[in-house]
Chains A and B, each alone.
Chain A
Amino acid sequence: MTLSWYWPTPNGKPPLIAVLSVIVPLAVLLLTASTVDMSYNKIFYAIPRMLDFTKNLWVMPDWHYVPQLAKKMLETVEMTLLATALAILLSMPLGVLAAKNASPHPIIFRITRDLLSFIRALPELVWALVFVSALGLGPLPGIMALSLVTVGFMGKFIAESIEVVDAKAIEGLESTGCTKFQSILYAMLPQAVPDFIGSLLYILDHNLRAASILGLVGAGGIGYDMVMSMRLFNYERIGMIALSIYALVTLLDRLSDVFRQKALGGILNVH
């Protein structure tokens, strides 16, 4: 079918770059297949077991588990909100220092940028492992891990949205003799707010997903119950947990869509 198409090139054949961009990744996949145990046998062997697993999920939910489920889900949401709030607090100053036009000195700009990308590099779960081994089990290490990684991302986003603000407002303020701090506060930050709300919603979404798996290493939230019921083949609970995570993530997704439209439509008066 593809061969009978007339491509928009001088000779009507698919362009070389399109062909290469199919062949090269396929070649890499074939070469690395053994590293990831990719084999027909393994996949076909797994299909009946997958079906079996899915069949096992169709059981009556364990109603006695509902109060604990609700408590753990609430804990997950609370961890998300608290970690995000802490991260906002810490990343505001760092974001300003890491923006080229607001930073007091190029060296400070460089150092903050590198610091932020260093914090951002490791995934939450790695930090959570380290904090759990330092502080013990519970939501506190989870909150710390989440807010640390979020500071890395949020600082970068804030810096980027400050860097693209309209320079006219800054010039206007400077012509009236304001200080650097005043121009950051009254010219740069207000213009960065819509961008900032967009990245905040993205971060909330990301953090909710991350918080729901942090329990895996004992750092609070629904993740611990998830792993435990999986290990104990407690199918009644697995289904309930998966469904409630799905419901929560979807709810936040829809809410943030509505909120984003409002914020961009200027209905939300935040400054």
Chain B
Amino acid sequence: MSIKTLPSRPHNLFPLWLSLALALLWLIIWDLDVAFQDLVYGIADMGEYLSRYGAPNFSNMSSYLHLMLQTLVTAFWGTTLAFIMAATIAPYAARQLTPNPVIYRIARELLNFMRAMPDLLLALIFVSSMGLGPLPGVLALSVHTAGFLGKFFAENMERVPAGKYEALSAVGAGFTQKIVFAAWPSMLRESVGNVLYIFDRNVRMAAVLGLVGAGGIGLELHDALRLFKYNQASALIIIILITIVAIDNLSSWIRKVLN
């Protein structure tokens, strides 16, 4: 074989991609009219501004802790309801289990739609129809994250080896029995990981749902910043931070134990 038959060396397209990306970014900065130089001039002011957060004021500690607890409970309820909805829809959105292709499409699109609606928009809608309080927050979180969990579960169900479903069909198992005895035992570990991920996410989200009146610690933080009570704001931020880090560590510990 002569050397001519070898394929030519692939072109290095990286400089092209990079320059296209930079041109796009330049256009964006020009269009948005953001002035990054203000940031540079503002560094001295920024130091002064941050120093206002220096002395956290924990005098309302018990009410803050109560709000944080409410936030955690909101996240827990949201995640559990999302789990129930997702576990119900997911089998219809998994190719091997779905009874027919039309239902498969409908289930997929339903999950897609739930995922695409931002949870704060849903929270706004639920707040305006059922009044202030954590309940609309729970519903908003559960509808939005059921879309995510349903997609994860459906993908997990599709990854289960087809032989397991076939074996159960062969001994006469029905739809529900295939889900309980073939799908769930094989995908339990990934699914627990997915649920923990969604719970982490929901705790973060529940901490800001208060902005639209859906309960939790977010409203208190918003009010503190609007009234320039930086000391209370920094106390709230510290509480949120500690809680989220603790939940994160707890869930990564659970994940490690399961593996």
Contact = CB atoms under 8 A, between A and B. Distances in A.
Decide whether A and B are members of one complex.
yes
Interface of A: 1, 5, 8, 25, 28-29, 32, 35-38, 42-43, 45-46, 49-50, 52-53, 74-75, 78-79, 81-82, 85, 117-118, 121-123, 125-126, 129-130, 133-135, 138-140, 143, 209, 212-213, 216-217, 220, 223, 226-227, 230, 241-242, 245-246, 249-250, 253, 269-271
Given A5-B177, A29-B77, A213-B120, A81 B221 contact: no
Interface string B123-162: 0111011100111011000000000000000000000000
A234 to B, nearest CB: 12
B66 to A, nearest CB: 9
A38 B121 contact: no
Given A46-B130, A130-B225, A227-B212, 11 more contacts: A36-B74, A45-B130, A50-B130, A79-B32, A123-B205, A125-B218, A126-B240, A130-B237, A216-B212, A226-B124, A270-B13
9 contacts: A32-B76, A35-B69, A38-B135, A43-B130, A82-B25, A217-B211, A217-B222, A220-B32, A249-B115
B32 A78 contact: yes
Contacts of A82: 25, 28-29, 32, 34
A123 B115 CA distance: 18
A210 to B, nearest CB: 9
Contacts of A139: 32, 34
Contacts of B55: none
Contact of A122 (B11, B176, B240): B240
Given A126-B207, A133-B225, A270-B17, A250 B74 contact: no
Contacts of A227: 124, 212
A35 B125 CA distance: 21
